[in-house]
Amino acid sequence: MLTIIRVGALDGIRLNVELSNGNMILFDMQPFMRDPQYAALIEENRILFPKTDGSRIFWRDGPSITIDDLLEQVQKP
C-alpha cells in the first residue's frame, strides 16, 4: 500500500511530498484554493506547516488531503 512518508512546504502554494515507493511529488495547491478552508491556510501562514499520518496531508485545526486526492490531482492533464 502506498503511503506518504514526508511532506514539506516549498513556498506558500506548493508542497514537496515523498511517497513510500520512493517517488517525490511537487504538489501545487492552487486547485484547492477555491475552498475557503484552504485559502485560510495561506492567509494564516499555516500552509507552511503540513503534517502527514501516512494516508493524508493535514494541517492542525484545518483541512486535509487524502493520498487518493493527491494522486487524482497529479494525474489530471
Write down the pLDDT at residue 31.
87
pTM for this entry: 0.90
With residue 67 as reference, give the H or E element that holds it: helix 67-75
- Assign residue 9 the CATH number of its domain: 3.30.2020
Looking at the 3D structure of the chain, how many domains does it have? 1
* Cα–Cα distance list, 1 to 8, 16, 37 (Å): 21, 20, 29
H-helix or E-strand containing 40?
A: helix 36-43
pLDDT by residue, tens only, the chain of 77 residues: 999 999 999 988 899 999 999 999 999 998 888 999 999 998 899 999 999 999 999 999 999 999 999 999 888 77
Q: Which residue range is the domain that position 65 belongs to?
A: 4-75
pLDDT at position 37: 94
